[in-house]
Amino acid sequence: MLLRYRVGAVVSLAKHQNGGAKTVLWTSKNFRTQSGDATFLQAVDFYFDKAAAIASVSPDILAQIKACNNILRVQFPLKCSNGTVELIEAYRAQHSHHRLPVKGGVRMAPNVNGEEIMALAALMTFKCAVVDVPFGGAKGGIKIDPTKYSLNEKEAIMRRYTSELVKKKFIGPAIDVPAPDYGTGPQEMAWIKDTYEHMKSTDINGAACVTGKPLEEGGIHGRHEATGLGVFFCLREFLNDQDLVKKLHMSPGVKGKTFIIQGFGNVGRNLVDIRDPAKILELPCDVLIPAALESQVHSENASRIKAQIIAEAANGPVTPSAEAILEKNGAVILPDLLLNAGGVTVSYFEWLKNLNHIHFGRMSRRMEESGKKVLLEALEQEFESKNKLSDDLRKELVKGNTEIDFVWSGLEETMLVSWANVRSTAERKDCNYRTAAYLIAIERIATCYRVNGIFP
Ligand SMILES: NC(=O)C1=CN([C@@H]2O[C@H](COP(=O)(O)OP(=O)(O)OC[C@H]3O[C@@H](n4cnc5c(N)ncnc54)[C@H](O)[C@@H]3O)[C@@H](O)[C@H]2O)C=CC1
Ligand SMILES: O=C(O)CCC(=O)C(=O)O
């Protein structure tokens, strides 16, 4: 589904060159897609190589970082509701173990394949490094169209998939922690947790084997909307930056800008709530937000994209050929590995909550409130009854922080600090934001590899 969202009046869409940014052209030589666009995995490798070329990292460490460490492919039978038996194909790729556990969602989609899952796992490695979340990268996929299966069938698939991961030691709070992705959500995560806990009943940290769970099953407030909210925080920061929007001949601020969102699932839905379906990526707008699948903006449609800002809420929505065309036309791309990192950031908070066996705020909320009450009373005594606070204001002032306050504040802090880092790196290195984000990730991961050395 495509959605067009109007915040206010349409702003003029004059195109211009992206000040100082170099355009590196993708060449279709040696690549096998008919359009000349890179496959998703080739695209991730291309973006990595582009940043690696300006990183102060030795070639042997770069090669270690780039490689996908493990890929598991399983096939198992499903007894369908109509009595037939179907073979299900599924994957889990672990890209990098420089930090443990490795982390990343599990998707259900008909086009899932090993290369796609490896590309997504690599993106998870770089994403976690950009936002300084201490995990390696992983991703899983089940090759089915979830809309074609009953709830019972999906449960059987998810439980069997989890049992395969347990048997192969591809899941565990200290090993590999799945989460929601395209086509999956809290229900699937609850099945993963329950299956894991049945098979590993003595693991006291079992709930931390998966994130994005329902609240009643050890989930955290705010995970469901975290990815969309993270996109919003970053985009708002970009749009409020006078210098950056001036280069696009735009006025600062979110108000008055027009947005198109492609994909109205977990990520897209939590970005906006005014709905007006329209079906074209190429409609005039200020900000295009692909929030569905990879390779949606490619060499064939890129020149017709009118948005000046492409905000990658999905993983890998813009191919390298498309990026070159968009940038030549003056558009700015806010890259996936920064922009959609809100999901894994709040997954990190959920994992910490599960390991701590206590929710954020439980030990501090009342203590905070009584401290603030004492302070207010002292101030009121000092100034006597001249300016008595209303009951509502008093309540608001003394309110202690709840779990959602911690989560939103931690998410905003993470996104803003990471954006500032990407912005300043792009300026310093005279490169685009994607290369800057990869560069930050590569240099952070390289430090781990260097310090850890090689086992044995
Ligand atoms: N769920 C999460 O926490 C995170 C998701 N992502 C990425 O965001 C993207 C979307 O994921 P979710 O929102 O979780 O998936 P979802 O399954 O909740 O929603 C995706 C939506 O996109 C629609 N869609 C698919 N192809 C489309 C097309 N060509 N045009 C228009 N709509 C289309 C689907 O019908 C569905 O409504 C994926 O690339 C995913 O990897 C990234 C970070 C975290
Ligand atoms: O929340 C997580 O652990 C992973 C989310 C994810 O799959 C992604 O960021 O692409």
Domain span including residue 178: 68-217
Question: Does residue 94 lie within any of the structural domains?
Answer: yes
Alpha helices in 179-315 (DSSP H): 186-199, 223-239, 242-247, 266-269
Looking at 233-374, which runs of residues are DSSP E strands? 258-262, 287-290, 309-311, 332-334
**15 noted as active-site residue:** no
pLDDT digits (tens, 9 = 90+) for 249-299: 999 999 999 999 998 777 776 765 494 443 568 889 999 999 999 999 999
Question: Does residue 122 lie within any of the structural domains?
Answer: yes
Of residues 388 and 155, more confidence is placed in 155
Looking at 298-384, which runs of residues are DSSP E strands? 309-311, 332-334
User: Is the shortest distance between the CB of 347 and ligand 2 below 6 Å?
Assistant: yes
Q: Are 319 and 299 in contact (CB under 8 A)?
A: yes
Q: CA-to-CA distance for 293 and 290, rounded, in angstroms? A: 8
Alpha helices in 255-300 (DSSP H): 266-269
User: Is the shortest distance between the CB of 263 and ligand 1 below 6 Å?
Assistant: yes
The ligand 1 atom nearest the CA atom of 341? 43
Q: Which of 50, 103, 127, 139 is catalytic?
A: 139
Q: What is the mean pLDDT of residues 143-164?
A: 98
Phi, psi (deg, nearest 5) at residue 148: -95, 5
User: Is the shortest distance between the CB of 183 and ligand 1 below 6 Å?
Assistant: yes
Q: How far is the CA of 2 from the centre of ligand 1 (A)?
A: 12
Question: Does residue 202 lie within any of the structural domains?
Answer: yes
The ligand 2 atom nearest the CA atom of 127? 9
Q: For a substitution probing ligand 1, which of 227, 279, 294, 297 has the most ligand atoms within 8 Å of its CB?
A: 227
Torsion of CA 408, 409, 415, 421, to 10 degrees: 180
Q: CA-to-CA distance for 423 and 14, rounded, in angstroms? A: 23
Query: What's the ipTM?
Result: 0.99
Residue 56 clears pLDDT 90, i.e. is over it: yes
Q: How far is the CA of 344 from the centre of ligand 2 (A)?
A: 5
Q: Are 223 and 252 in contact (CB under 8 A)?
A: no
Task: Pick the ligand that lies closest to the CA of residue 139.
Answer: 2
Question: Does residue 347 lie within any of the structural domains?
Answer: no
User: Is the shortest distance between the CB of 138 and ligand 2 below 6 Å?
Assistant: no
The domain that contains 73 carries what CATH number? Answer: 3.40.50.10860
> Which long-range CB contacts under 8 A does 242-249 form with residues at least 24 apart?
244/332, 244/423, 247/16, 247/18, 247/19, 248/16, 248/308, 248/309, 248/330, 248/332, 249/12, 249/14, 249/16
Question: Does residue 440 lie within any of the structural domains?
Answer: no
Q: Are 314 and 238 in contact (CB under 8 A)?
A: no
Q: What's the full length of the chain, in residues?
A: 456
Question: Does residue 161 lie within any of the structural domains?
Answer: yes
Question: Does residue 449 lie within any of the structural domains?
Answer: no
Give the pLDDT confidence score for residue 385 in this predicted structure.
62
Task: Pick the ligand that lies closest to the CA of residue 315.
Answer: 1
The tally of domains found in the chain comes to: 1
Question: Does residue 184 lie within any of the structural domains?
Answer: yes
The ligand 1 atom nearest the CA atom of 268? 13
Q: In the predicted model, what is the mean pLDDT of the chain?
A: 91
pLDDT digits (tens, 9 = 90+) for 2-40: 333 333 222 222 222 233 333 334 444 444 455 689 999
